[in-house]
Amino acid sequence: MNKALRSNFAPGTPRWAVRRAQWKALGLSDADLEKPKIAIVNTSSELSSCFSHLDGVAAHVKQAVREAGGIAFEIRTAAPSDFITSAGRQGRYILPSRDLLVNDIEVQVEGAMLDGMVCLASCDKTAPGQLMAAARLDIPSLVVACGYQPHGQIDGRAVDIEEVYESVGKVGAGRMTLERLAALCDAAIRGPGVCAGMGTANTMHIAAEALGLALPGSTPVLANGERMFAFAQAAGRRIVAMVDEDLRPRSILTPQAFENAVMVGLALSASINLVRHLQAVAAEAQCPVDLYELYDRLGPRIPLLAAVRPNGTMRIEELEAAGGTLGVMKRLSDRIHRDALTVSGRSWGQEIDAAPEPGAAICTVDQPISTQPSVIVMRGNLAPEGSILKLGDASLKQPVFSGHALVFATQDAALAALEAGHLVAGTVAVLAGMGCRGGPGMALASGFVAAVDGAGLSTSVAVITDGQLSGLNRGIAIGQVAPEAALGGPLGLVRDGDAITIDMVAHCVTLHVDEAELASRRARSVPHEPADERGWLHIYAQVVQPITEGAVLVPPDRLNQR
């Protein structure tokens, strides 16, 4: 018996006996019972094309695990899709599903005391949830990116889900017919996988690699392509070796690893949601990093090297062909932490030196697309603890935006005002009371931002919210405002007509209301009352921490013990 494996119990004990009986019934041999036992964490679901191919990916990983001398146990978890699971409760299940998934993995993998796990990452919340679980459990773990969806064609040109998302606003503004929108919907997606742009899903796949928890060279990747299956098989083989080497996530998830991930995110103008997800992974890893500080410090040093849609015209497959995450890291070779470890067992320096030169689609540091930080932390009296603005490939032709507030409590109300023509140039749409605690669960504001862009107003109308934005959103859209309105943040004190200035050079968002008036509004404000929820959202509201803490789930009386 391999006594080094935690999954092997002493013969004759109750745990040994019942486990032997259960697993013998599955057809395992005596020899199998002594092998490394690997969880294949599968978020397969028929609800969304994001997950529809994962059973096939799992089969390749399981076969590779067996060939490498391990035993694979496929387990299933929640499978949240931003475009499908967002239908109920104003999208408030989306962020809480990440943490539901973390705890789902803990129950199944830690409860069974398995030796390692391979996590099949797909839509937005699966990769961060899996990274958080790996950090929490600290057993040998590896993330497999299951790829982006192929886009379609209409009238001889490419069309993808991003265009569908934005076109809703065109219909509302009378710039597109409903029939044309339906035709876009029917053509946009030609196979399984995640959104084909630099949204949160591809961002988190790339971040998993940059952190060191996905095999170098594996992201981004076309779903069900030869490269995806090759990396899935390589992951199955590698996880068995990682168990033997006792290579664990917390030896990889160092402060240097998080800096590497932020630098790659900045070089690609990755989703603003990367900030909160990386903070949550760091919290689970008990790694003392402040993501807001990292963006402040590293932003001026890291230029934009590739502008994938919606940041520019490049498509995600062009980034893959040019070298992907590994190619970006090779371009940043003199700035990243080369000593940081990867799941390959080698350092990033070793991986980069062995990698081919990136393609021309990934610019050099000396000749970048832009030298401006692609994602910035905005502070000021309207976001004293920070907020996030994605600039993409913007050259700051409009570095300061000034306007007057229109305040909304829900996305639906904001969409109705947009359709009615109430959002004119110079409007600052404020969607407040939609944060982690106020939602609870971060209600959606992303559809409204996409509609504003579709209506052609993304440069003349700004959006500020404590609600949920999408990695595909663009325009002057400030998200993750902290503290959120439900926690007493000043966003909840904004009233229609208030003057607001967004200074993208000074990284400051200012509410022009004097302190006496704000104090009066605060005194008249009604304390936040949790929504009348039952079930998971009710539990979430009791234990979710502020967005600046990564919105992890920790009872308040334990927060200071972390």
Q: Which residues are registered as beta bridge partners of 233?
A: none
Going by C-alpha positions, the residue among 272, 254, 144, 107 that lies closest to residue 198 is 272
**How many other CB atoms are there within 10 angstroms of residue 204's CB atom?**
35
Q: What is the C-alpha radius of gyration for the chain, rounded to an integer number of angstroms?
A: 23
Give the contacts of 226 (CB within 8 A, at least 6 positions apart).
none
Instruction: Reply yes or no on whether the pLDDT at 476 is more than 50.
Output: yes
Tell me if residue 214 falls in helix, strand or coil: strand
| pLDDT tens digits, 176-185 | 999 999 999 9
pLDDT of residue 396: 57
Q: Once rounded to an integer, what is the mean pLDDT over residues 376-401?
A: 87
pLDDT of residue 90: 84
Distance CA 161, CA 151 (A): 8
Could you give all domains of the chain from N- to C-terminal order, each with its CATH number? 35-149+191-354 (3.40.50.2300), 151-190 (no CATH), 375-531 (3.50.30.80)
| pLDDT tens digits, 450-474 | 899 889 998 999 999 999 998 778 8
Q: Regarding beta strands 462-465 and 477-482, do their DSSP bridges make them parallel or antiparallel, or are they unpaired? A: parallel
pLDDT of residue 4: 82
73: alpha, beta or left, given left = phi > 0 and alpha = psi -120 to 50?
beta
| pLDDT tens digits, 116-148 | 999 999 999 999 999 999 999 999 999 999 999
pLDDT of residue 485: 95
Catalytic residue among 45, 48, 52, 470: 470
Q: In what order do the strands lie in the sheet with 71-76?
A: 71-76, 37-42, 116-121, 141-145
pLDDT of residue 171: 87
pLDDT of residue 393: 67
> Prior bond to 530 cis, omega within 30?
no
Q: Once rounded to an integer, what is the mean pLDDT over residues 507-516?
A: 96
Instruction: Reply yes or no on whether the pLDDT at 159 is more than 70.
Output: yes
* Side-chain half-sphere exposure of 292, counting CA atoms within 13 A: 18
Assess contact for 409 and 461: CB atoms under 8 A: no
**Which of 32-41, 377-386, 445-454 is the least confident region?**
445-454
pLDDT of residue 305: 97
Q: Which residue has the higher pLDDT, 452 or 4?
A: 452
| pLDDT tens digits, 524-556 | 988 777 667 788 999 999 899 999 999 999 865
Instruction: Reply yes or no on whether the pLDDT at 398 is more than 90.
Output: no
Distance CA 354, CA 359 (A): 15
Q: Once rounded to an integer, what is the mean pLDDT over residues 362-382?
A: 96
Averaged pLDDT score across all residues of the chain? 93
Mark whether 470 is an active-site residue: yes
**Which of 209-213, 216-220, 326-330, 448-452 is the least confident region?**
448-452
Distance CA 114, CA 315 (A): 39
Tell me if residue 248 falls in helix, strand or coil: coil
pLDDT of residue 106: 97
pLDDT of residue 348: 98
**Which of 346-350, 382-386, 423-427, 446-450 is the least confident region?**
446-450
Q: Once rounded to an integer, what is the mean pLDDT over residues 482-495?
A: 96
Instruction: Reply yes or no on whether the pLDDT at 562 is more than 60.
Output: no
Q: Please measure the distance between the N-terminal and C-terminal CA atoms of the chain and give it in whole angstroms.
A: 37
Going by C-alpha positions, the residue among 293, 130, 133, 152 that lies closest to residue 201 is 130
Give the contacts of 192 (CB within 8 A, at least 6 positions apart).
49, 50, 51, 52, 53, 147, 149, 223, 224
pLDDT of residue 191: 95
Q: Once rounded to an integer, what is the mean pLDDT over residues 170-177?
A: 87
Assess contact for 457 and 423: CB atoms under 8 A: yes
Instruction: Reply yes or no on whether the pLDDT at 60 is more than 80.
Output: yes
32: alpha, beta or left, given left = phi > 0 and alpha = psi -120 to 50?
alpha
Global confidence as pTM: 0.95
Assess contact for 325 and 341: CB atoms under 8 A: no
Going by C-alpha positions, the residue among 217, 249, 215, 209 that lies closest to residue 64 is 215
Distance CA 552, CA 132 (A): 9
pLDDT classification of 190: cutoffs 50, 70, 90 = very high
DSSP 8-state secondary structure symbol assigned to residue 308: B
Assess contact for 268 and 375: CB atoms under 8 A: no
